[in-house]
Amino acid sequence: MGFWPSVAEVVSWELKLLRAHRKLALACAGLILVPALYAWIYLYAMWDPASHTRELPAGLVTLDEGVRYRDRELNLGRQVLGQIEQHGQFAYRRYGDPAQARHDVRTGRLAFVLEIPADFSRSALPGEQPGAAKLTIYTSEGNNFASAEFARRFAPEVARRVNTMLAEARWDLVLSRASGSQRTLEDLKAALSELHRGADELHTGLMRAREGSVQLTGNSASALDAAGRLRAGAAQLAEGTQQLGGGVRQVGSSLRALEARRPPESELAALRLGLQAQVEGQRELLRGLESLLDGTRQLEGGLGQFRVTADEVPLFGGRLVEGLAPITQGAQLLGSGLDRALAGQARLLQGAVRLQEGVGALADGSQRAGQAVSALTGRLPEDARVDSLGEGARELVRGHDTLLAGLQQFGGGTQSLQTGLVRLGDGAGRLETGLELVRRALPQEVDRPEGSAQGLAQSVEPVVEVVAPVPNQGSALTPNFVPLALWVGAVMVAFIVHLRRIPQPLAHHPRLALAVGKLALPLSVVLMQALVMLVMLAWLLRVPLPQMGLFSLLLATTSVAFLALVWALVRLLGDIGKVVAVLLLIVQVSAAGALLPIQLSDEAFQAVHPYLPLTWVVQAFRASLFGAFDGGFWPAYAIVAGIAAVGLAIGAGLGRWRTVPEHDWRPPLDMD
């Protein structure tokens, strides 16, 4: 039988186990996913822990009592906690009781607690010695070592912030004091100039004041003489007010008597009514007289007609006419008398009307006069007030006596003022000379440091230039953990495939054909593992893959190389080789420099570092993902490919095949 038919027969016997044992087939399918799942769980959990530190609980306690430092009230504890909370690096919780905060750390409720003591401001601000102020970070490594590491890194960061804040505050104080001193010096110079001018003006004003005091002394004598005359006038005023009071009392008595004698309103009203009745009677009398006059005239006309008629009467006509003559004469006299009576009555009526009008005006005037007398009486001051007016005039006289005494004292004071002004003028001259000396002695300016408070406190800032940048921690762990997951996958494949046993019917086939046939299924599984890993990294975790082709080639080659190493160990050592493969994985985790620089490891690990497969696999992964090691991908890849070739060759050329009867051909694991 030829080579490839032999290989095909070996593969068919392996597939026969998969067909006969469905659980074995499912295990093979599951192994394809194990490395990718293993890597995904780890990388996803560690993808970007720095972005989740805001959820890590941390306590903050300040007992700082503050301090008064150079005219400023400062409390650094509150400022430090304010800046820390503003930065928001962790999930901070404020505590007032440090014992409760420490209890929460011990019980795992807090990762750590930052304590600021009561004397923090008092110890930190003076800066008398390094480390005088203490900040306490209280944490528990046993609860979580990673949280304790965060606390350790947090402590120097807080110290740096506090020291920077203090340095800025101190420099700000220095600069502000320097600026203030310069401004104060300028203000002092300006004030001295103003004071010098003021002293000069004071000296001039004092000279004028001396002249004014001389005039004031002369004027005080005139004021004293005028005050004497004013006192005499006040005495005359007192006498006049006394006479005025007597006259006011007499006027009041007369007005009250006049008001008492004024006729009442009822009598004035009765007088008005009587005069009105009289006028009406006069008018009736006038109308009666007019009627009587008309009757008299009618009588005269009738008598004339009767005389004519009587004259025509025979016998007695003449005698009737004679008898009517006296009657006619009497009627004429009556008519004349009535005319005169009517004229007199008209004049009498006119006089009555005028009398009525005069009495009405008299009554109204009497009423108004009574009201005026009442108002005048009400407005007259009371006797007590008139007496107080006299007392006030006498008090005015006494006040002028006091004014005379004061003016006499004022005259003596003006003489003392004149003497004091002379001395004050001499002192003002000496003050002007002294101020000029002080102005000349002041420096021109204050030496002030250049720069700002922040610049002086942080004059140096490091600049980090990064080559081969990494997006995040998950991407950084990919070159470390993906090879470990592939190694685990290769080791697990060795547990479901017989790498040393063959059934009895295959014993006569060539060794190379047996090796190729045996590796067909494991190689297929690890290559599928590499493919699933690529899909998971590229589309699930979205790891940036700038060189997809090289990375895919490296994944496949790494899977083959790890399987080749396990193949060679099992072929040489049997099942113990699987144990050795696991131990080799453990050694490589520490000695390959995957997680920490190899220089930080023990010397023994540094010695074996260049000879471990994982060393070069990690280097090749980093070169393909990040361009690390100056893009040196191919040298590392060549070593990985060489390891694969050597492992395959050792497994194929060395070791013995163990032949088992056909009826004992079953899976390496118990699948029933």
Q: Which residue type occupies 180? A: G
Which of 75-79, 122-126, 487-491 has maximum average pLDDT? 487-491
Distance in angstroms between the alpha carbons of the first and the last residue of the chain: 35
Is 60 exceeded by the pLDDT of residue 447?
no
Beta strand pairing call for 67-68 and 73-74: antiparallel
Is 70 exceeded by the pLDDT of residue 459?
no
Confidence class for position 497, pLDDT limits 50, 70, 90: confident
Q: What's the pLDDT score for residue 225?
A: 74
Burial 429-451 (b: 16+ CB within 10 A, else e): eebbeebeeeeeeeeeeeeeeee
Q: Please tell me the distance from the alpha carbon of residue 63 to that of residue 98, in angstroms, as a whole number.
A: 9
Lowest mean pLDDT among 127-141, 485-499, 611-625: 127-141
Is 80 exceeded by the pLDDT of residue 489?
yes
Q: What value does the mean pLDDT take over residues 597-614?
A: 84
**Residue written as token pair 């610049």:** 455
Q: What value does the mean pLDDT take over residues 224-249?
A: 69
Q: Please tell me the distance from the alpha carbon of residue 523 to that of residue 559, in angstroms, as a whole number.
A: 8
- Cα 133 off chain centre by: 32
Q: What is the mean pLDDT of the chain?
A: 77
Residue 67 in contact with residue 74, Cβ under 8 Å?
yes
Which of 144-158, 171-185, 191-205 has maximum average pLDDT? 144-158
Could you report the per-residue pLDDT of 500-534, keeping only the tens digit for each?
888 888 778 888 888 888 888 899 999 999 999 99
Q: Please tell me the distance from the alpha carbon of residue 57 to that of residue 648, in angstroms, as a whole number.
A: 52
Is 60 exceeded by the pLDDT of residue 446?
no
Could you report the per-residue pLDDT of 310-348, keeping only the tens digit for each?
667 665 666 666 776 777 777 778 778 778 877 777 787
Q: What's the pLDDT score for residue 101?
A: 93
What is the DSSP annotation of 341-363? HHHHHHHHHHHHHHHHHHHHHHH
Phi, psi of 499 (to 5 degrees): -90, -10
Of residues 570 and 68, more confidently modeled: 570
Q: What value does the mean pLDDT take over residues 463-487?
A: 81
SS3 label, residue 264: coil
Residue 528 in contact with residue 615, Cβ under 8 Å?
no
Lowest mean pLDDT among 160-169, 187-196, 577-586, 639-648: 187-196
Sign of the Cα torsion 248, 253, 257, 259 reads: positive
Confidence class for position 397, pLDDT limits 50, 70, 90: low
Q: What's the pLDDT score for residue 500?
A: 81
Confidence class for position 551, pLDDT limits 50, 70, 90: very high
Look up the pTM and report it.
Answer: 0.55
Which two three-digit tokens encode residue 186? 């300028």
Residue 216 in contact with residue 414, Cβ under 8 Å?
yes
Q: Please tell me the distance from the alpha carbon of residue 351 to that of residue 224, in angstroms, as a whole number.
A: 75
Which of 225-229, 240-244, 603-607 has maximum average pLDDT? 603-607
Confidence class for position 461, pLDDT limits 50, 70, 90: low
Q: What's the pLDDT score for residue 629?
A: 84
Q: Please tell me the distance from the alpha carbon of residue 249 to that of residue 253, in angstroms, as a whole number.
A: 6
Lowest mean pLDDT among 107-116, 174-183, 599-608: 174-183
Beta strand pairing call for 73-74 and 91-95: unpaired
Could you report the per-residue pLDDT of 238-297, keeping only the tens digit for each?
677 766 666 666 766 776 666 666 667 777 677 778 777 777 877 787 788 778 778 777
Q: What value does the mean pLDDT take over residues 149-172?
A: 78
Q: Please tell me the distance from the alpha carbon of residue 100 to that of residue 97, in angstroms, as a whole number.
A: 5
Which of 145-149, 303-307, 621-625 has maximum average pLDDT? 621-625
Strand order in 57-62's β-sheet? 91-95, 57-62, 112-116, 136-139
SS3 label, residue 439: helix
Strand partners, 92: 58
Residues of the chain with pLDDT > 70, as a percent, come to 69
Q: Please tell me the distance from the alpha carbon of residue 562 to that of residue 42, in angstroms, as a whole number.
A: 20
Q: Please tell me the distance from the alpha carbon of residue 558 to that of residue 565, in angstroms, as a whole number.
A: 11
Q: Please tell me the distance from the alpha carbon of residue 240 to that of residue 633, in angstroms, as a whole number.
A: 133
SS3 label, residue 659: strand
Q: What value does the mean pLDDT take over residues 571-587?
A: 87
Of residues 270 and 174, more confidently modeled: 270
CA dihedral 30, 32, 38, 43 (to 10 degrees): -140
Q: Quick one: which of 466, 474, 465 has its CA closest to 50?
A: 474
Tell me the domain boundaries of the chain.
Answer: 3-48+472-664
Phi, psi of 113 (to 5 degrees): -135, 140
User: In a 10 Å sphere around its CB, with 0-12 CB exposed, 13-18 middle and 19+ buried, how is residue 491 labelled?
Assistant: buried
Lowest mean pLDDT among 111-115, 228-232, 336-340, 583-587: 228-232
SS3 label, residue 137: strand
Residue 24 in contact with residue 518, Cβ under 8 Å?
no
Is 90 exceeded by the pLDDT of residue 620?
yes
**Residue written as token pair 């005006």:** 361
Distances (CA, A) of 31 to 119, 306, 492, 554, 621: 63, 184, 7, 20, 23
Q: What's the pLDDT score for residue 2?
A: 66
Residue 113 in contact with residue 95, Cβ under 8 Å?
yes
